[in-house]
Amino acid sequence: MGVQVSTFNLGKPVNLEKIGNELAEWLLQKHQFKILHKRWENGGKEGKKYLVEVEQTGFLRVVSGLVFWYKIELRQTENSIIALVDDGDIRKQIAGLGVAILVAWPALLTAGAGMFTSGQFRQTILSKIEQIAKS
């Protein structure tokens, strides 16, 4: 589980809400994530940020350790976007592992694969943010 931050230099100001909404729609339509939140939040010294939170869950995902949750923060500087993708709390994977040990030990393999896949998908999300911002 981890956090990845990228800065995209665009040479112009952009609409963070539009980028966040397009990203959420892409996650919903192409990857079947449930949208938990899309909102503006005061980021303190860093200024306002637009948040998108999504998840993929369900009984079979919990049992197999393939629960995915992402919190995406978008901030704007003069001519760039700072995007942070947090893929969640390891406790969600551990809860699934606890059930997996009791129910189906082979699910331990899928839980490990889920953690690896979650990390790879962070980069996919960042690439999509850059693509949306540049369009």
pLDDT digits (tens, 9 = 90+) for 45-103: 667 899 999 988 765 555 555 668 899 999 998 889 999 999 876 555 555 555 555 55
Q: Is residue 135 included in any domain, yes or no?
A: no
Q: Is residue 99 included in any domain, yes or no?
A: yes
Sign of CA dihedral 117, 123, 124, 129: positive
Q: Is residue 115 included in any domain, yes or no?
A: yes
Stronger pLDDT, 45 or 134, i.e. the higher one = 134
Convert 21-56 to b/e letters by CB count within 10 Å (16 or more is b).
bbbbebbeeeeebeeeebeeeeeeeeeebbbbbbbb
Q: Is residue 51 included in any domain, yes or no?
A: yes
**CATH assignment of the domain containing 29:** 3.40.1000
Query: Which range marks the domain in which residue 81 is found?
Result: 3-130
Q: How far apart are CA 66 and CA 99, in angstroms?
A: 12
Stronger pLDDT, 60 or 114, i.e. the higher one = 60
The whole-number pLDDT of residue 101 equals 54
Q: What is the pTM of this model?
A: 0.76
Q: How far is CA 113 from the centre of its chain?
A: 17
Q: How many domains does the chain have?
A: 1
The whole-number pLDDT of residue 103 equals 53
Q: Is residue 7 included in any domain, yes or no?
A: yes
Q: Is residue 13 included in any domain, yes or no?
A: yes
Q: Is residue 88 included in any domain, yes or no?
A: yes
Least confident window among 11-15, 48-52, 119-123, 125-129: 119-123
Q: Is residue 8 included in any domain, yes or no?
A: yes
The whole-number pLDDT of residue 63 equals 53
Ramachandran sector of residue 42 (left: φ over 0; alpha: ψ -120 to 50; beta: rest): beta
